[in-house]
Amino acid sequence: MCQVVSMPDELSVEQTREIVRLRRRHPRAEVIVHHKRWGIIVEARRRGHAVELERFDWTGAVTPDQRVRPRRSAHLPDHHGI
């Protein structure tokens, strides 16, 4: 289900196209829009977990999510030699 909410600012054509591409990549995902004063965050969720995020600001920029890589802790042993 998709709900349209009026916003004081508008997305660019490219930003709108990116939302369409997000929905095509995740056709069964729930799409949630989080309003921020600088723009919006569009979240695709499946089974209660975010599968993709896109950040759109009112200047027209599109910023895709980036994979979070865990930091290696200094106290963990290095298992490369095993």
| pLDDT at 68 (0 to 100) | 56
CA proximity to 33, closest of 60, 62, 5: 5
Single-letter amino acid, residue 1: M
CA angle at 68 for the pair 63 and 71, rounded to the nearest 5°: 140
Give mean pLDDT, residues 8-22: 86
pLDDT tens column, 21-76: 999 999 999 999 999 988 899 999 999 999 999 989 888 887 776 665 656 655 55
Q: How far apart are CA 39 and CA 28, in angstroms?
A: 25
| pLDDT at 30 (0 to 100) | 94
Q: How far apart are CA 22 and CA 24, in angstroms?
A: 5
Half-sphere exposure of 48 (CA within 13 A, CB side): 0
Unique residue bearing structure tokens 């009026």: 6
